[in-house]
């Protein structure tokens, strides 16, 4: 049923187009035409202009054919991580890899190629189906920017699949919510040799704060990390300024809020501890904390219709689906935040975000087969 040669050629074509985050112009122009050829009405939104990129998200609407039904969203992202300039996809013994200097970009082009092949098959076989909304986002790899800038009003679907994880016949139904944090510590500078008592070291404040913090794996569903620290000027100056950046994630929003408050409190506590009188004046180091909600959690019930749909489609192929949780955020978190019940479907890609990335043609065929059944059942 699946045309493996057509799928192989589609993947190779997509992989060879460089599409770094915010540099997706070429692939977007190609996909816009490709989805039009497949019978969709395609629009590009203004996310690119707002994010400073070459193009926006693509929304391809396939009207119902042969029967009515509730719309189904199918999504993937068109950007890849770097290095991705001049990707040379190599196919050897049924496995795609890059020539070695770049990523392959199977993340997420395997998903796009599978989606296109499934839509080809559904069309050529005249399989009756409800409306399908394909959403191909930009800039997923740099903080889900495209999905965050997508106006949810343009979508009718209330359920969807994001093709964007390793594995085959695999569904991710849970992912954490996350906060990003930035702490700026401002102490007081002084000559480190002549008058250290006139200064308060921002480095010392930051060090105390971080030493007091619970970090790493906090429990089975929560993590926290300090990822960068920058500051100070010279060994003979008591450091005035330090900037520390970190994050926290949890599957439980209440735990995320508690951990975030804890990290902020550690900085404020350290500043109070190191406050002292300098020349008759009480000097308290200043803490400027900034907390940004990075993405909301994804927690789709195991009995949800979208999971039932994938399971029903799989059973038509005599397959079972593994459903599990993941530790990272993706576009699916954003879609769920907009009330579109979305789970992530495995695309067969492996070793993503590395030059050893690969994908087997056989696995892409399996995913495309499953997608055809999902569209038929939806
Ligand atoms: Zn991805």
pTM value surpassing 0.75: yes
41 carries an active-site annotation: no
Q: What is the pLDDT of residue 327?
A: 84
Max CA separation in the chain (angstroms)? 85
Q: Is 333 helix (H, G, I), strand (E, B) or coil?
A: helix
Is 100 a residue whose pLDDT tops 90?
A: no
Cα 103 to Cα 61: distance, rounded to the nearest angstrom: 30
Dist. CA 277 → ligand 1 center (Å):
52
Run of H or E residues at 153: none
pLDDT tens for each residue of 321-369: 999 999 889 999 999 999 999 999 999 999 999 999 999 999 999 999 9
Which residues have CB under 8 Å from 9's CB, separation 6+? none
- Per DSSP, 74 falls in state E
Q: What is the pLDDT of residue 330?
A: 95
Dist. CA 96 → ligand 1 center (Å):
17
Facing residues of 186 across strands?
241, 286
Q: What is the mean pLDDT of the chain?
A: 97
Query: What is the pLDDT confidence band of residue 160, given thresholds at 50, 70 and 90?
Result: very high
State the catalytic residue, choosing from 10, 45, 54, 79: 79
Average pLDDT over residues 281-294: 97
Facing residues of 242 across strands?
185, 231
Q: What is the pLDDT of residue 43?
A: 97
Q: Are 129 and 65 in contact (CB under 8 A)?
A: yes
79 carries an active-site annotation: yes
Is 10 a residue whose pLDDT tops 90?
A: yes
- What's phi and psi for 325, nearest 5 deg? -95, 160
Q: Are 89 and 98 in contact (CB under 8 A)?
A: yes
Q: What is the pLDDT of residue 261?
A: 98
pLDDT tens for each residue of 13-44: 999 999 999 999 999 999 999 999 999 999 99
Dist. CA 73 → ligand 1 center (Å):
17
Cα 137 to Cα 164: distance, rounded to the nearest angstrom: 12
pLDDT tens for each residue of 184-223: 999 999 999 999 999 999 999 999 999 999 999 999 999 9
Dist. CA 210 → ligand 1 center (Å):
31
Dist. CA 181 → ligand 1 center (Å):
23
State the catalytic residue, choosing from 108, 114, 140, 294: 140
| DSSP per-residue string spanning 76-99 | EE--BPSS-TT--EEEETTEEEE-
Dist. CA 164 → ligand 1 center (Å):
5
Q: What is the pLDDT of residue 79?
A: 98
The larger pLDDT score, comparing residue 154 to residue 327, is at 154
Cα 249 to Cα 176: distance, rounded to the nearest angstrom: 6
């Amino acid at each position: 049923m699946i045309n493996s040669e057509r799928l192989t050629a589609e993947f190779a074509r997509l992989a060879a187009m460089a599409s770094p985050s915010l540099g997706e112009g070429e692939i977007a122009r190609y996909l816009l035409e490709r989805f039009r050829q497949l019978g969709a009405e395609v629009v590009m939104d203004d996310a690119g202009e707002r994010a400073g990129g070459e193009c926006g998200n693509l929304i391809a609407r396939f009207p119902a054919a042969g029967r009515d039904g509730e719309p189904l969203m199918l999504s993937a992202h068109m950007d890849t991580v770097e290095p991705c300039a001049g990707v040379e996809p190599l196919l050897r013994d049924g496995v795609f890899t890059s020539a070695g200097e770049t990523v392959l970009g199977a993340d997420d082009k395997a998903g796009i190629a599978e989606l296109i092949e499934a839509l080809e098959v559904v069309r050529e076989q005249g399989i009756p189906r409800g409306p399908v909304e394909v959403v191909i986002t930009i800039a997923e790899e740099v903080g889900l920017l495209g999905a965050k800038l997508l106006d949810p009003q343009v979508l009718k679907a209330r359920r969807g699949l994001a093709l964007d994880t390793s594995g085959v016949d695999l569904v991710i139904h849970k992912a954490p919510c996350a906060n990003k944090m930035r702490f700026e510590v401002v102490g007081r500078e002084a000559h480190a040799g002549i008058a250290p008592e006139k200064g308060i070291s921002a480095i010392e404040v930051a060090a105390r704060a971080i030493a007091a913090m619970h970090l790493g794996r906090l429990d089975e569903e929560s993590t926290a990390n300090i990822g960068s620290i920058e500051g100070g000027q010279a060994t003979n100056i008591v450091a005035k300024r330090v900037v520390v950046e970190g994050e926290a994630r949890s599957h439980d929003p209440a735990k995320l809020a508690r951990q975030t408050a804890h990290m902020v409190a550690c900085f404020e506590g350290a500043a109070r501890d190191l406050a002292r009188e300098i020349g008759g004046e009480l000097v308290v180091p200043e803490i400027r904390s900034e907390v940004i909600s990075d993405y909301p959690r994804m927690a789709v019930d195991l009995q949800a219709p979208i999971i039932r749909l994938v399971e029903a489609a799989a059973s038509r192929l005599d397959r079972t689906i593994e459903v599990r949780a993941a530790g990272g955020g993706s576009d699916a978190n954003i879609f769920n935040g907009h009330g579109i019940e979305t789970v992530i479907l495995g695309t067969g890609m492996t070793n993503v975000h590395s030059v050893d990335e690969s994908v087997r043609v056989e696995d892409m065929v399996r995913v495309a087969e499953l997608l055809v059944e999902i569209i038929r059942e939806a």
